[in-house]
Amino acid sequence: MAWRSLRKTSLFDVLLIIGLTALALFMLLPIIFIFNHAFKPLNELFLFPPTFFVQHPTTHSFEQLFLKSGGDVVPFTRYLFNSILVTSVTLLLVIVFSSMAAYVIAKKSFPFKSLTMALILVSLMFAPETVQIPRYLIISGIGMSNTYFGHILPYLASPVAVFLLIGFISQIPNELIEAIKLDGASEAGIFRRLILPLSAPAIATISIFTFQGVWSDIETSSLYMQDETMRTLAFYVNSLLSGLHNSVAGQNIAAAAGLLIFMPNLIVFLLFQKKVLATMVHSGVK
């Protein structure tokens, strides 16, 4: 059977598979380089001609990074803790708030529903840079500077997440909602037992977008945080790459820090990629 299937494969299919495989391997090169670069000793970082693969791997760069302090006061672990805490809480709240808002807009009737949807669509047109000043005025005005909530608040209203979930939840048959109501489920029960499980692919998609945005964000640390102990790992890494710390002796530390910023994004994407594909298929079918 396998031989018959192979004989039915056309030359175009073979060339397409070879081409896509070559393209995939080519796209893997930056990832391979980041891993090799982080484990290079300092002398290999400045070899000419430069080497792609590490010749004598070492973890000395990571040891220096974990022992290094920002401004000789704040330890590296503090930045790491801030990033993990802010990203985790923000991701959870964005999922809860966005899915609740999308459920109400998609399945409920209320005054000014069309206006609400229009405002969400309009908000998608604004670039993040255009709202930096209003965000700063709000955060400072309510006294949330130098707090963890100052990191989290700018991300809670996520028009992209709400818009994506509205399109997904609107495809859930109303008959299912009526059936679970007949079983005695409350609105909270409908949301928890029906809406959230059936929206898992869309939730996984917004989780990737939100995680990548929050984990790599330096805006909140730069604009709202004057206390160094409240800043995140992305801000610290950015200071290593472009600030006064970016000396020849600090290049190995910057390479290790870059890998630490990149790894969580890669892991989260690999965990949820199947859900993302399911969301795309669902959107195309509807």
Mean of pLDDT values over 14-23: 87
Q: Supply the pLDDT for residue 86.
A: 93
The CATH topology of domain 62-285 is: MetI-like fold (1.10.3720)
Any idea which of 65-79, 116-130, 146-160, 164-178 has the lowest mean pLDDT? Answer: 65-79
Residue 284, pLDDT score? 44
- So what's the pLDDT on residue 222? 86
Question: By the 8 A CB rule, do 187 and 125 touch?
Answer: no
Per-residue model confidence (pLDDT) at position 92: 93
Residue 125 exposed, middle or buried by CB count within 10 Å (0-12, 13-18, 19+): exposed
Q: Does pLDDT of 5 surpass 80?
A: no
Distances (CA, A) of 187 to 101, 113, 123, 177, 195: 13, 19, 28, 10, 10
Residue 273 pLDDT greater than 70, yes or no: yes
How large is the average pLDDT for residues 255-278? 78
pLDDT of residue 95: 92
pLDDT over 70 (residue 11): yes
Mean pLDDT value of segment 125-137: 81
Average pLDDT (261-284) is 71
Q: Number of helices (H) and strands (E), helices first, in the chain?
A: 16, 2
Per-residue confidence (pLDDT) for residue 280, from 0 to 100: 53
| pLDDT at residue 265, as a whole number | 83
Average pLDDT over residues 64-89: 79
For residue 268, what are the contacts with CB-CB under 8 A and spacing of at least 6? 207, 208, 211, 212
pLDDT at 244: 44
SS3 at position 2:
helix
Q: What is the mean pLDDT of the chain?
A: 81
Cβ proximity of 66 and 77 under 8 Å: yes
pLDDT at 285 over 50: no
In tens, the pLDDT along 211-248 reads 988 998 888 888 888 888 888 888 888 877 665 444 56
Which residues neighbour 65 within 8 Å (Cβ) at sequence distance 6 or greater?
Answer: 76, 253, 256, 257, 260
Domain residue ranges of the chain, discontinuous segments joined by +: 62-285
| pLDDT for res 242 | 67
